[in-house]
Amino acid sequence: MSQPTHVCHHSETYDEPRGEMVPIDLSSAPVHPPNAKAHANGVNGHNKLNGVNGTNGANGHAAPPMKSPAKQFNPYAPRYADFLSNVSNFNIIESTLREGEQFANAFFDTETKIKIAKALDAFGVEYIELTSPAASEQSRADCEAICKLGLRAKILTHIRCHMDDARIAVETGVDGVDVVIGTSSFLREFSHGKDMAYITRTAIEVIEFVKSKGIEVRFSSEDSFRSDLVDLLSIYQTVDKIGVNRVGIADTVGCANPRQVYDLVRTLRGVVSCDIEIHLHNDTGCAIANAFCALEAGATHIDTSVLGIGERVGITPLGGLIACLYAANPEYVKAKYNLPALRELENLVAEAVEVSVPFCNPITGYCAFTHKAGIHAKAILNNPSTYEILKPEDFGLTRYVSIGHRLTGWNAVKSRVEQLQLKLTDDQIKDVTAKIKELADVRTQSMEDVDTLLRVYHSGVESGELELGQRHILDRLLEKHRSQSQERVSAAA
Amino acid sequence: MSQPTHVCHHSETYDEPRGEMVPIDLSSAPVHPPNAKAHANGVNGHNKLNGVNGTNGANGHAAPPMKSPAKQFNPYAPRYADFLSNVSNFNIIESTLREGEQFANAFFDTETKIKIAKALDAFGVEYIELTSPAASEQSRADCEAICKLGLRAKILTHIRCHMDDARIAVETGVDGVDVVIGTSSFLREFSHGKDMAYITRTAIEVIEFVKSKGIEVRFSSEDSFRSDLVDLLSIYQTVDKIGVNRVGIADTVGCANPRQVYDLVRTLRGVVSCDIEIHLHNDTGCAIANAFCALEAGATHIDTSVLGIGERVGITPLGGLIACLYAANPEYVKAKYNLPALRELENLVAEAVEVSVPFCNPITGYCAFTHKAGIHAKAILNNPSTYEILKPEDFGLTRYVSIGHRLTGWNAVKSRVEQLQLKLTDDQIKDVTAKIKELADVRTQSMEDVDTLLRVYHSGVESGELELGQRHILDRLLEKHRSQSQERVSAAA
């Protein structure tokens, strides 16, 4: 393994941290049963709910695998089934090419759109949502081009609740149309200025028109969490009765909290029999958790975008949602999506919109699997599950333990000593760890620094020059090593 | 206002986007009542709960202001009080200088630690938590130095549940000690190897020792969500009875979801009378939402770090939590913290650990207040609350509306026309908007591009050369303008 001396923090695409880190051999991690097992029959009776959840599964391009016996692999999953929950039975509506196009930095040319659509399809999302063909000439042409790619994912476009837009949309060849209108009094007053009677009339006209073309149609309110609940449930019940495939709830301003989302979705679940989609903005950082709660309450479809790009700070990020759902049911998520493709997908979009993948991004943040504190390092080396709910190897990534810092512990150092095949007792390792901490109090030590110290300590012990606690002798040996290295460098120059 | 032609996406500290954006005059936004009003008596009876919540408020360095009559200012707040909820009555335990030091990139020298501590204090956090003085010599010296700064915030340090650590900690001059031990079977087996009887015995010894020194003490389990519930409640009840100030729940691996957090905190709230602190990792992106649910369930103290830095992808970020709590009760949060100082605090820490503030960061993400979609822009210009749950002016920030892109709408363009004091009819504005969309289908247009187009269109109309829909004449006028500009540039060169 190459060992550069420091982490490059500012490259466009982060590398994993190396420097002072110990890469951990993943082959010792507990082995997963093969994915095929995820298709075994569910054990929690949830499958019986398909009727209640309307067309879920039938709408997707492929029926999702049956619920896996999650308890078998995840000892911390809930012990009893929650019959409303779709945490192990959902579809993703990926909106990087619609909501994501509304991100301040986004400008996707046709070639980029096609690349992103193909990468999303390779990852395995069930739906890809595109900007309305009514937005501009090029938007229409791009929508038609993507429909012709023959992807596995179904292609949707997203339009205002208006017959003009609907007519243009159905001509593009999409598999479905997502219709939206603002229903909050705020939007009714300050945006379109229409009343609920007008909204209902138009909604029915547009839905019946789209359905007459034999493709899917969703009806969604905008700003649902600031809409009158009675208005909202009333229009959803109406469109459900005329056969809409899905109704959507949108937290357009990002104001909802998890319990509000749970409550609203749960209430709606009791009112309509069709599928329920949820679209959540991330202004207060709750979009992933809100999506999870929506699934728990019976939602069937979650809107995402890659890295969460969208209006303002964006919406539920695809990768973060995957992390959250993987934590709940790893086997189901692994069977459903090509997880090692996530990183490349995120890099593709990050490059297209000229942002960096955030350091704190779930899964692919460049230190998401780096462990630093001494007590963490010890436990991780014994059993990675102690401090990890996500297995890096499932995402094609690697775990690191950082040891050259003042919070380090002797167990992490011991692991490195073993990797270097040096023979030291535990007491000797504790002794040299104290020296690492002393040096790291002044400056974080690179892997080379740590390795040099370990080798010098080891040779001092081997030669009988060094015993436990003899810091001054260790200092002298280190000094001697450094001057010899310097001479070698000078001689070579 | 200066108008550079594009947004610098890769600078260390993002500037607000300008380029094709229209800055919106904030003076027209609804005016807030003065902060003083936030100190008026609460209307929801929550204050009566102080007894139930143990020492909350008394523990903090200043009693938090009374609950504000939130309904008066936030029409979308819950209509009825939730008697358990502390969403409008909480303390922040800011752990950038403890948890944050465990972030892969972090190395804080004494000067940096002091700068960060002062900035946190200026922002107004109630507690600052520091790395254990047992971690290293320098950690001890830094802890003592920060205790001597005379900050308003109380200073805590965080130690293992061990008498050696406790003895060192109480000598540093801290206002309190946060004691932690792993209680999950995972950690008991693979980390410290101790049983619950040993944990309980040691906890009592350490707590009584720290209390004998007249300072605060908190006892927290580690990995609480994977611990045996009966063990957990049993030890919390024990330490509550001997007079611990706070008990802590930690989602050490970031596996908890919002409803689990709510349920565990709520259960614990019924078992102990002391304060309840929560510490949440962000591996699945749920840390902010989980913190909010913990407060709803009766937690009193939330752990944060600036930008969320910590082990792996970190913990609940201070700024994100503020966004979430501000959305719930803006007056309370504004009265409690110096919100315009947030951005500088985040920049300080970002620089210290060499990361960029993520583009998707709540509040300070560089496009958090940028609106792009046409229908959004129209509504925002009518009333910002249509698409914003956070008021940028409360954070010393500015709102932008992006218009030079193919999703633009004529209402946003009209706003710019008015700012430039050009006289155009609505039909003329729609006509020139179509041209902007046509140009932006090829390349996003900068503010200068848009302004030039608007001025040329306007002068064409004024001179009588141009009428509605005469694209070819507009193209000719634009071409003429460009060649004249070019001549002027050449002449000046």
CA-based nearest distance A216→chain B, Å: 24
Residues of B in contact with A369 (CB under 8 A): 312
State yes or no: pLDDT of B98 exceeds 70.
yes
Residues of A in contact with B21 (CB under 8 A): 104
- Are B257 and A293 within 8 A, CB to CB? yes
Is A312 within 8 Å of chain B by CB?
yes
Q: Cβ neighbours of residue A328 under 8 Å, at least 6 residues apart?
A: A70, A74, A77, A87, A88, A292, B257
Q: Poorest-confidence range of A73-82, A221-230, B102-111, B476-485?
A: A73-82
What's residue B304's pLDDT?
A: 98
- The stretch B305-324 carries a mean pLDDT of 97
Query: Is residue B162 among the annotated active site residues?
Result: no
State yes or no: pLDDT of B170 exceeds 80.
yes
Query: Reduced to 3 states, what is the DSSP secondary structure of residue B205?
Result: helix
CA-based nearest distance A493→chain B, Å: 33
CA-based nearest distance B33→chain A, Å: 21
A22 versus B46: the higher-pLDDT residue is A22
What's residue A367's pLDDT?
A: 86
Quick one: DSSP state of residue A305?
A: B
Separation of alpha carbons B318 and B322, rounded Å: 6
- Are B367 and A103 within 8 A, CB to CB? yes
Separation of alpha carbons B41 and B337, rounded Å: 19
What's residue B17's pLDDT?
A: 41
What's residue A23's pLDDT?
A: 54
Instruction: Report the residue from B282, B292, B444 with minimal CB separation from A107.
Output: B444
Burial zone of A249 (CB within 10 Å; 0-12 exposed, 13-18 middle, 19+ buried) = buried
- Are A10 and B354 within 8 A, CB to CB? yes
State the best of A286, A353, A354 to mutate against chain B, taking most chain B CBs within 10 Å: A286
Return the structure tokens found at B127: 């507690």
Task: Characterise A18 by phi-psi region: left (phi > 0), alpha (psi -120 to 50), beta (else).
Answer: alpha
Is A407 within 8 Å of chain B by CB?
yes
Residues of A in contact with B400 (CB under 8 A): 104
pLDDT band at B12 (very low <50, low <70, confident <90, very high): very low
Return the structure tokens found at A83: 């019959």
Beta bridge partner(s), residue B277: B248, B301
ipTM topping 0.90: no
B332-379: pLDDT as tens digits: 999 999 999 999 999 999 999 888 899 999 999 988 988 776 666 667
In chain B, how long is the greatest CA-to-CA distance? 92
Residues of B in contact with A107 (CB under 8 A): 405, 443-444
Q: Cβ neighbours of residue B345 under 8 Å, at least 6 residues apart?
A: B119, B120, B122, B123, B306, B318
- Closest Cα in chain B to A401: B104
Is B313 within 8 Å of chain A by CB?
yes
Interface of B with A in 233-272 (CB under 8 A): 252-255, 257-259, 262
What's residue A24's pLDDT?
A: 52
Instruction: Report the residue from B226, B387, B400 with minimal CB separation from A253.
Output: B387
Residues of A in contact with B385 (CB under 8 A): 186
Q: Which residue has the tokens 């749960």?
A: A266
Q: Which of B231-235, B289-293, B484-488 has the highest mean pLDDT?
A: B289-293
Q: Among B390, B36, B51, which Cα is nearest to A312's?
A: B390
- Are B258 and A440 within 8 A, CB to CB? no
Query: Reduced to 3 states, what is the DSSP secondary structure of residue A301?
Result: strand
CA-based nearest distance B455→chain A, Å: 23
How does pLDDT run along chain A (493 residues), one tens digit per residue?
333 323 223 333 333 443 445 555 444 333 333 333 333 333 333 333 333 334 444 333 333 444 444 444 455 566 677 889 999 999 999 999 999 999 988 889 999 999 999 999 999 999 999 999 999 999 999 999 999 999 999 999 999 999 999 999 999 999 999 999 877 776 666 666 678 888 899 999 999 999 999 999 999 998 888 888 998 999 999 999 999 999 999 999 999 999 999 999 999 999 999 999 999 999 999 999 999 999 999 999 999 999 999 999 999 999 999 999 999 999 999 999 999 999 999 999 999 988 889 999 999 998 898 877 666 666 766 777 777 889 999 999 988 777 888 878 888 888 888 878 889 999 999 999 999 988 988 887 877 788 889 999 999 999 999 999 999 999 999 998 888 877 776 776 5
Is A225 within 8 Å of chain B by CB?
yes
Instruction: Report the residue from A10, A313, A360 with minimal CB separation from B308.
Output: A360
What's residue B410's pLDDT?
A: 85
Separation of alpha carbons B35 and B33, rounded Å: 6
CA-based nearest distance A465→chain B, Å: 27
What's residue A190's pLDDT?
A: 65
Residues of B in contact with A311 (CB under 8 A): 371-373, 376, 387
Quick one: DSSP state of residue A30?
A: P
Across the beta sheet with B21-23, the strand order is B21-23, B400-402, B370-371
Whole-number average pLDDT of chain B: 83
* Inter-chain contacts counted by CB atoms under 8 A, chains A and B: 315
CA-based nearest distance A492→chain B, Å: 34
- Map out the domains of chain B with their CATH numbers: 91-353 (3.20.20.70), 370-491 (1.10.238)
What's residue A67's pLDDT?
A: 44
Separation of alpha carbons A268 and A233, rounded Å: 7
State yes or no: pLDDT of B160 exceeds 60.
yes
CA-based nearest distance B278→chain A, Å: 17
Is B223 within 8 Å of chain A by CB?
yes
What's residue B186's pLDDT?
A: 65
Is A73 within 8 Å of chain B by CB?
no
Instruction: Report the residue from A257, A354, A360 with minimal CB separation from B358.
Output: A360
Name the residue type at position B194. K
What's residue A48's pLDDT?
A: 32
The torsion angles phi and psi of B278, rounded to 5 degrees, stand at: -130, 140
Instruction: Report the residue from B283, B365, B372 with minimal CB separation from A362.
Output: B283
Are B106 and A443 in contact by the 8 Å Cβ rule? The answer is: no
Q: Among A138, A185, A139, which Cα is nearest to A158's?
A: A139
Is A285 within 8 Å of chain B by CB?
yes
User: What are the angstrom distances between the C-alpha of B161 and each of B139, B166, B171, B198?
Assistant: 18, 8, 16, 11
B226-262: pLDDT as tens digits: 888 998 999 999 999 999 999 999 999 999 999 999 9
Instruction: Report the residue from B76, B283, B292 with minimal CB separation from A323.
Output: B283
Residues of A in contact with B370 (CB under 8 A): 104, 312
pTM assigned to the model: 0.79
pLDDT band at B405 (very low <50, low <70, confident <90, very high): confident
User: What are the angstrom distances between the C-alpha of A412 and each of A84, A121, B207, B274?
Assistant: 44, 41, 29, 37
- Closest Cα in chain A to B10: A355
- Are B317 and A360 within 8 A, CB to CB? yes
- Are A387 and B252 within 8 A, CB to CB? yes
Question: Which of the residues B376, B405, B458, B481 is marked catalytic?
Answer: B376
- Closest Cα in chain B to A251: B387
The torsion angles phi and psi of B216, rounded to 5 degrees, stand at: -70, 150
Is A391 within 8 Å of chain B by CB?
no
Name the residue type at position A38. A
**A91-94 and A21-23 strand pairing:** unpaired
Q: Cβ neighbours of residue A376 under 8 Å, at least 6 residues apart?
A: A386, A387, B102, B311
Is A383 within 8 Å of chain B by CB?
yes
- Are B383 and A190 within 8 A, CB to CB? yes
Return the structure tokens found at B102: 């465990």
B33 versus B73: the higher-pLDDT residue is B73
- Are A293 and B137 within 8 A, CB to CB? no
Is B9 within 8 Å of chain A by CB?
yes
Across the beta sheet with A400-402, the strand order is A21-23, A400-402, A370-371
- Are B312 and A368 within 8 A, CB to CB? yes
> Mind giving me the DSSP string for B273-322?
-SEEEEEEB-TTS-HHHHHHHHHHTT--EEEEBGGG-SSTT-B-BHHHHH
